[in-house]
Amino acid sequence: MTENENNTMLSDSLDSMKGAFVGSLIRNNKKIREDRAIAIAEAAQMLYKREVEDTELKIKQLKREREAMLDLSPTTADSLVLASDFDAKKFVEKDIQLGVSIRNLEITLEIAKTRYIHLFEN
């Protein structure tokens, strides 16, 4: 039996076999690369999108926390913090730290959104 006849027999045998396993084995190189590319691109896009959404959420949470610091009525809506109980130094430090955190996240968000658009929408 010649090599050509052997290849024809093998091809006929594979053609008669059904199912995903055999189909996967006989895919051509281009199809394999396409499938891998799709899997990689989908995973990267989903994670990038999640990162953008998570960063947006962190920014909202920090802004709410910063605004909540202005609520100086610890027990009821009618009571106020006594001046002697208020630690201005801690207030200023925390307010500035939250502001820096928000700004850093806004920069991160801007970069992430720009890259997401470039990588997945253009």
Distance between CA atoms of residues 107 and 91, nearest Å: 24
Residues composing the chain: 122
With beta carbons less than 8 A apart as the criterion, state whether 117 and 74 touch: no
Q: How much is the pLDDT for 7?
A: 63
**Rounded to the nearest 10 degrees, how much is the dihedral formed by the CA atoms of 110, 116, 119, 122?**
-90
pTM tops 0.85, yes or no: no
Q: How much is the pLDDT for 1?
A: 64
104 burial (CB, 10 Å; 0-12 / 13-18 / 19+) is exposed
Mean pLDDT by 10 residues, the chain (122 residues): 68 73 76 91 96 98 94 65 78 96 98 96 87
